[in-house]
Amino acid sequence: MSKPILHSYFRSSTSYRLRIALNLKGVEATYKAHHLRHGEQRADAYLALNPQGLVPSLELEDGTVLTQSMAIIEYLDETIPEPPLLPQGAVRRAQARAMAQMIACEIHPVNNLRVLTYLKTGFGADDAAVANWFRHWVATTFEPLESLLAARQEKTRFCFGDTPGLADICLVAQVANNRRFDVDMTPYPVISAINEACMELEVFQKAAPAAQPDAE
Amino acid sequence: MSKPILHSYFRSSTSYRLRIALNLKGVEATYKAHHLRHGEQRADAYLALNPQGLVPSLELEDGTVLTQSMAIIEYLDETIPEPPLLPQGAVRRAQARAMAQMIACEIHPVNNLRVLTYLKTGFGADDAAVANWFRHWVATTFEPLESLLAARQEKTRFCFGDTPGLADICLVAQVANNRRFDVDMTPYPVISAINEACMELEVFQKAAPAAQPDAE
């Protein structure tokens, strides 16, 4: 039987999100690596699948190509309802999506490889200036994220309840990304505890960058 | 009867998205302006509602505060099903969300006010360099977006079908934002046509920055 193809790069945190979601849903996918630092995602064959030239993409069995990690995760949640990646109730679902989007729309986009490269080539930023930029945008959003998580009425093991979901997926991928720039996690005890709770689970461990076939 | 409160800034393109969605769903909200250039979104009273200090927020009748424009729009679509803002079918819904996220996760985050301000203060970028940055990220995503829209099997009036939805909402808000940096729209005839089709509708016109009480 054919399987979907996961177009990924081990170090890409958006690919990491999708790998976690696939594992949580029990979907087996064929792993196809695209080395971002070698520009492999800009090859014609891949651009024909995903004209943005970004990873991840999920190529379904019928050839349909889905793009954008957050949209693909919602697709998985709609087509494979168990276990749910969003909580019950419209308000809580909105809160979970908002928490995920704090990372997906505020931190990751300004800190991805192509943006950091522009800072160097366009503004002559050195490694220290790039690291400051990265850490600035993490802190700008992790501070309110930590407050929101600390203020939850129910101090659940994961962001929303006793099973991991969309917000946890984004949180874990961002925390891993933070290590590349030595982000001090001391100010974020709740985020750190949720990250640790996730990383105790095999589905998260198997999705980690170091566990991928293209890991260096 | 009480109404929800829309915390907004006329020029904010994420606020613009939410204003369109509220209008499409027929939700009347009390408009509360926060002047971003005067830092009003950082006032303690607003931070108590939204610790990120960003607009928009939607304060529901019971005091619940929803944040992140994309999460709020999904909330509106779940709680007020008609007219739907996402197409039928999981694959098409994923494609619509992906198209919206191309703008919401790739263009807007790197081009919002606080990021452009950092370029000036942190890297000494002048107005021309900031404009180049803005236009670069628009082009990087509008080129594949135009290709995807041009390659649609059905050349519908809006991104997905004959009624506007999530992708159109993001598209219109981004096209308006582009005007601030004189983005040349000539390379994007399909995006332009969809934008025009939307702007013929009163619900879009009433959501436009210039139609807001805090417009300057």
The pLDDT tens digits of the residues spanning B25-60 come to: 999 999 999 988 888 888 899 999 999 999 999 999
- Residue A100 distance to chain B (closest CA, Å): 9
Which residue of chain B is at minimal alpha-carbon distance from A104? B105
* CB contact B120 to A (< 8 Å): no
* Entry pTM: 0.97
Dist. CA A78–CA A85, nearest whole Å? 10
Share of chain A above pLDDT 70, in %: 100
CB proximity list for B83: less than 8 A, separation 6 or greater: B24, B25, B163
* CB contact A110 to B (< 8 Å): yes
Residue ranges of domains in chain A, CATH in brackets: 5-82 (3.40.30.10), 90-203 (1.20.1050.10)
Q: What's the confidence (pLDDT) of residue B1? A: 54
Q: What's the confidence (pLDDT) of residue B12? A: 95
> What mean pLDDT is reported for chain A?
96
| Number of inter-chain CB pairs under 8 A, A vs B | 122
CB proximity list for B186: less than 8 A, separation 6 or greater: none
Chain-centroid distance of CA A10 in Å reads: 11
Dist. CA B76–CA B84, nearest whole Å? 10
CA dihedral over B137, B139, B143, B146, signed as positive or negative: positive
Q: Phi/psi of residue A2, each to 5°?
A: -80, 160
**Contact of B204 with B19, CB cutoff 8 Å:** no
Dist. CA B36–CA B33, nearest whole Å? 9
* CB-based contact A104 B105, cutoff 8 Å: yes
Nearest to A208 by CA among A175, A164, A162: A175
**Contact of B5 with B56, CB cutoff 8 Å:** no
Convert the pLDDT of each residue in A66-99 to its tens digit: 999 999 999 999 999 999 999 999 999 999 999 9
- The CA dihedral of B59, B64, B70, B73, to the nearest 10 degrees, is -70
Q: What is the ipTM of this complex?
A: 0.97
The yes-or-no verdict on residue A36 having pLDDT over 90 is: no
Q: Is the peptide bond before A56 cis (omega within 30 degrees of 0)?
A: yes
Convert the pLDDT of each residue in A129-172 to its tens digit: 999 999 999 999 999 999 999 999 889 999 999 999 999 999 99
The yes-or-no verdict on residue A1 having pLDDT over 80 is: no
Query: Cβ contacts (< 8 Å) between A53 and chain B: which residues?
Result: 144
Q: Rounded mean pLDDT of A32-48?
A: 88
Chain-centroid distance of CA A158 in Å reads: 16
The yes-or-no verdict on residue A38 having pLDDT over 90 is: no
* CB contact A117 to B (< 8 Å): no
**Contact of B70 with B100, CB cutoff 8 Å:** yes
A 1-30 residues inside an 8 A Cβ radius of B: none
Dist. CA A196–CA B195, nearest whole Å? 45
Q: What's the confidence (pLDDT) of residue A145? A: 98
List of chain B residues with pLDDT < 70: 1
Q: Phi/psi of residue B204, each to 5°?
A: -80, -45
The 3-state DSSP class for residue A144 equals helix
